[in-house]
Chains A and B, each alone.
Chain A
Amino acid sequence: MPVIDWEGQQVQLAAGESVLDGLLRIGADVAHSCRAGVCQSCLLKASSGQPGMASQAGLKAAWIEQSCFLACVCYPAGDLAVETPGAGVRSSAELIGMSWLSPTVLRVILQPEAPPVHRAGQYLTLFRDDGLARSYSIASLADEGKIELHVRIVPDGRMSSWLAQLASPGITVGIQGPAGNCFYTTGAPDQPLLLAATGTGLAPLYGIVREALEQGHCGPIWLYHGAANSEGLYLQAELEALAATHPNLRYRPVLRDRNGSITDFIINTHPQLKGWRGFICGNPDFVNSLKKRVFLSGMASREIHSDAFVPAPPSS
């Protein structure tokens, strides 16, 4: 089995063991969260050896050129020497503002050291001083100059509770990204758009909808925000105001206690989605089930963009 070299320490992988699991077994301090190849927290760089294509799926070209890979889905064929990716991949940002969007959702504003280059709807990975890493979607447009995140406070959540209770403006955090393909692209200004989120899945959509309108999108845009009850909604006034000034935008909160399942609600309203483009974000079960439903309703697979907010597994 391959041997992994980490800062002079070596570990031989067991059969079926990922590079991340091997490194954590010897106590290496490698950031990670979803352990499913989704959040990009566990990004490492191979200084020698081949990490394999499967561990580079979804990474941007510039990172692949630097031999970066995702350790949690890396099962190399041969030996590897690996290190934490350096400048050019990670940078820092100052936390400059925090406010409550609802009783459970915190708006976090970051000032990155370099001007932001993301597309609204992409995500970045936030690193705390001690190496804890979690990914968050970007709600702001790049030309706004700052980065806005919407963080739902998870009870006993390591990153989210820390942000809510202990972090304060003025501190510096590490950032990595942007990443992901869930963003608006120009070229089809009259295509109907379906934007659907649960919870803080609204963060990327809040960026995408404003980006689309700013780019002059003139086709119909349907924005659905699902929550258990009215307390789960936020930015309602802002979105209603946006819809009031843009006749092609419809904003529809969907409450489980009043309207039932959000996926049923959306598919009943739009039984035929051929020719549409979709953006679907939030809870992983919701994202996967709505993706399947819109696909079966005729949306082409190439038109379906999504980010599932896959959490860290309970044990890690």
Chain B
Amino acid sequence: MQRYFMNTLYEQLGGTAAVEAAVDIFYRKVLSDHRISHFFEGVDMDHQIAKQKAFLTMAFGGPVHYTGQDMRRGHAHLVQRGLNDSHFDAVVELLGQSLSELNVAPGLIAQVAAIAESTRADVLNR
């Protein structure tokens, strides 16, 4: 993840509190979307939100600590339960919707989508 890009996104969102709000908006969409919400049954909400926030906040300022290998391991059990391209597309769509609700510029949203896209093979364990 390019540091330059993340700083820009962070600024556009407007700081840490706004990143928190962005994660809430995104995660609320994920949990209410019937195409994908079943993957999140029983996942502890606190841990998930805390990790996402810590990650996003960290990613804006510091080095990124996870690898493609982590992404593979983190989703392997979901792929066994049927996680596929359609679910991945749904998540990218919701991420884009969240950012546009927060008035992030379209060009930047396209870059976020491209970054998410770059994880597809790892998330789907291909």
Interface residues of A (CB under 8 A from B): 288, 291-292, 295-296, 300-302, 304, 306
Among listed B7-15, B20-28, B98-106, interface-contacting one: B20-28
Closest CB in chain B relative to A53 CB, distance in Å: 11
Beyond the given pairs A288-B45, A292-B45, A301-B45, 8 more chain A to chain B contacts, judged by CB atoms under 8 angstroms and listed by A's residue number, are A295-B24, A295-B31, A295-B45, A296-B28, A300-B21, A301-B20, A301-B27, A301-B49
Q: For residue A288, which residues in chain B have a CB less than 8 angstroms away from its CB?
A: 42, 44-45
Contact between A292 and B31, CB atoms less than 8 A apart: yes
- Residue of A300, A301, A304 most packed against chain B (CB within 10 A): A301
Q: Does B32 contact A (CB under 8 A)?
A: yes
A167 to B69, CA, bound (A): 53
Q: Which chain B residues border A292 with CB–CB below 8 Å?
A: 31, 45
For B30-45 the 0/1 string (1 means CB < 8 A from A) is 0110000000001011
Which interface class (under 10, 10 to 19, 20 to 34, 35 or more) fits B? 10 to 19
The answer to whether A300 and B31 have CB atoms under 8 Å apart is no
CA–CA, A304 and B20, complex, Å? 13
Q: Which of A291, A302, A304 has the most CB of B within 10 A?
A: A302
Bound Cα distance from A264 to B27, whole angstroms: 21
B44 touches A301 (CB 8 A): no
A301 near B31 with CB under 8 A, answer no
Cα of A39 to Cα of B52 in the assembled complex, Å = 24
Can you list 11 contacts pairing A with B, beta carbon distance less than 8 Å? A288-B45, A291-B46, A292-B31, A292-B45, A295-B24, A295-B31, A295-B45, A296-B28, A301-B24, A301-B49, A302-B20
Enumerate chain B residues within 8 angstroms of A306, measured Cβ to Cβ.
46
Q: Are B31 and A296 in contact (CB under 8 A)?
A: yes
Within 8 A of A (CB), among B42-74: 42, 44-46, 49
